[in-house]
Structure formats: C-alpha cells, structure tokens
Amino acid sequence: MEIEHRNNITVVGDPQGRPVVLAHGFGCDQNMWRLTVPALAEKHRVVLFDYVGSGRSDPSAFSEDRYASLDGYAQDVVEVCEALDLRDAVFVGHSVSAMTGVLAADAVPERIGALVMVAPSPRYIDDEGYRGGFSAGDIDELLASLESNYLGWSSAMAPMIMGNPERPELGEELTDSFCATDPDMARVFARTTFLSDSRDDLEKVTVPTLVLECAQDVIAPRGVGAFVHRAIPGSTLVTLDTTGHCPHLSAPEATNEAITGFLAGLR
C-alpha cells in the first residue's frame, strides 16, 4: 500500500531544507500544526501525516494488534520516513507522539537526527515515585467519554468518513471535524496512549532533544517535563507560560520561537 495515501502525507516548505516531521498526538490530526507550519516552511521541508486510525488516514490499514502498542505507531513514523527517504530529519512530536519519535529514532537513527518533544509524557498513570497525573480508573472514564460522544450529538465529533481524498469538500470539512475519528480506532489509540509506559525508552535517545512543556497542563502535569529532561542527557527543557496541553495552539508564537531557535542551533 502507498504510505503517502495510507498516512495522508502532506509535504510543504523548502524542498532543499532540512526535513521536519510534525506528528500529532491522540485526539486530532495533522491540522493541529496549522499555526506551526508557516514558521517552519520557510527554511524547512515540512512533512505532516496522520497516524493510521486518525484524521484522513486509510481506515482499511488499521489493525487492532499493530496499534495496541506504541511500536505500531512508531512503525508508521518509520514507514513515513522511508517512503519519503528522509535523512537526518527533525521529528516534532506532540504528547504521546513525542515518545513515538523516541522509538522511531532508535529504530532508524540515520533518518531522525533531532527530537522536539511537545508536552511529552512517558507515562500518564501515577507510579511509585512518579506523578503522571492519572489513575488507571481515570483512563476508563476517558474511554466512556469517547463512547458518549460517538452517538454524534455534535456534528464536530461525528465519525467522519476517512480515507477518501477524492471528496472535493474536504477544505471546510477538514477544519470542522479534524478531531473526529472512528470510535473503535480512537479507543485503541486512547488505550495505547494512556496505558503506555515508555520511561525506560528515554535513555535510548542520543540525538539533540528539545523538551517543551506547558506551565499548566492537565495531561502532562509539571514535573513530567523535568523527568523527561533529566532522563535524556544533554536535552533542553523549555517551559512555556501557557495553559492546556496544546501549546502550539494556545501559545503558537512562543512555541514556534522555541522550535525555530532549537533548529537554528543544530549543526
């Protein structure tokens, strides 16, 4: 299967620039980066994609087995990099995707040369000596929330028909429903995301890494960013003065500034 089609790959910016891959987290799709792309496109080849099961990816490529672990999502990243034959790319991952990037960089080191981790969390559930912010029961509640929005009281959350790039009205619709996914696939992604524990994977990181955290983040509480920073030697931690889990939406200027500054400092 064509990876370009399967993962709904979009490439913009300077074809000669160092590639930057933008990876969305659980919940929405590549449209999350709309305010980030313009800041990067001038100097970089910017690659956007949707994980299988999200956005406008090909739903027929979904497999519950494959995406029951972060390795499945990391495999998507690897295959996207291979399909475009990216070398030494900067991988920018939001939320759970920050960890997906860690796994992918370990798998194909020649393709991923730097990491930007936006609001990362290697583990969402509290553990001894570690505060992830949630209990296991909380995750069940999220699954119930997904379910209750599935009946479609809101047109924005109604399951959209994915993987049909021939449809002409996609512009408007894409904006309107970019957080809508097939409920069964969303449930798998939610489980994989919130039940994962990737703390031990952090030490595998050998590339330059920027950790971006928000001052007030319900999903990745203060302390988690510092944990990631400590676990990755030589990494840089930047705390953005914003609220929420999506600094690229709530504080786009500060986020872009941090990322472009980091990119400029790379060799």
Partner 1 sequence: MMCRAGQQSGPYGADDEEAANASFAALLEDGAEELYENAPCGYLSTLLDGTVVKINATLLGWLGLEREEVVGRMRFTDLLTVGGKLYHETHFAPLLRMRGEIGGIALEMKQAGDKRMPVLVSSAVKHGEGGQPLLIRTTVFDARDRRAYEEELLRARKAAEEARRQAEADRARLQQALAVLQRSLLPDTLPAIPGMETAAHYRTASPDRLGGDFYDVFPLGGTRFAFFLGDVCGKGPEAAAVTSLTRYTLRAAALHDPDPVSVLATLNEVLHERYTGGDPRYCTVVFGIVDPDPESGRAAVRIASGGHPPALVLRADGRADFLPTPGGLLVGIMPAASFATAATTLAPGDALLLYTDGLTEARTGEDRTALYGDAALRAFAADHAGEPPGAVMKALADLLDGFGDGLDDDTALLALGVPSRPAPGPATKNTP
Active site residues: 95, 217, 245
Interacting span for partner 1 (CB under 8 A) from 4-12, 43-51, 65-73, 245-253:
245-253
HSE-up of residue 104 (Cα within 13 Å, Cβ side): 33
Q: Which of residues 15-54 bind partner 1 (CB under 8 A)?
A: 25-28, 31-32, 34
Q: Does 13 bind partner 1 (CB under 8 A)?
A: no
Smallest separation (angstroms) from partner 1 to the CB of 62: 19
HSE-up of residue 153 (Cα within 13 Å, Cβ side): 5
Looking up tokens 């400029």 gives 264
* Bridge partner list, 220: none
Q: Does 100 bind partner 1 (CB under 8 A)?
A: no
Smallest separation (angstroms) from partner 1 to the CB of 149: 5
Beta-carbon count within 10 A of 77 CB: 27
Spatial neighbors of 143 by CB under 8 A, at least 6 apart, are 187, 190, 191
Beta-carbon count within 10 A of 193 CB: 23
Q: Does 225 bind partner 1 (CB under 8 A)?
A: no
Smallest separation (angstroms) from partner 1 to the CB of 95: 8
Q: Does 82 bind partner 1 (CB under 8 A)?
A: no
Q: Does 245 bind partner 1 (CB under 8 A)?
A: yes
Q: Does 99 bind partner 1 (CB under 8 A)?
A: no
Q: Does 64 bind partner 1 (CB under 8 A)?
A: no
The pair of three-digit structure tokens given for residue 150, joined into one six-digit string? 């599935």
Beta-carbon count within 10 A of 60 CB: 11
Q: Does 97 bind partner 1 (CB under 8 A)?
A: no
Q: What is the largest CA-CA distance in the chain?
A: 52
Q: Does 73 bind partner 1 (CB under 8 A)?
A: no
Among 95, 144, 102, 147, residue whose Cα is nearest residue 123:
95
Smallest separation (angstroms) from partner 1 to the CB of 247: 11
Smallest separation (angstroms) from partner 1 to the CB of 220: 10
Burial of residue 19 (number of CB atoms within 10 Å: 0-12, 13-18, 19+)? buried
Q: Which of residues 171-210 bind partner 1 (CB under 8 A)?
A: 175-176, 178-179, 194
Which residues sit at the interface with partner 1, rule CB under 8 A? Answer: 25-28, 31-32, 34, 134-135, 138-149, 151, 153-157, 175-176, 178-179, 194, 216, 218-219, 242-246, 249-250
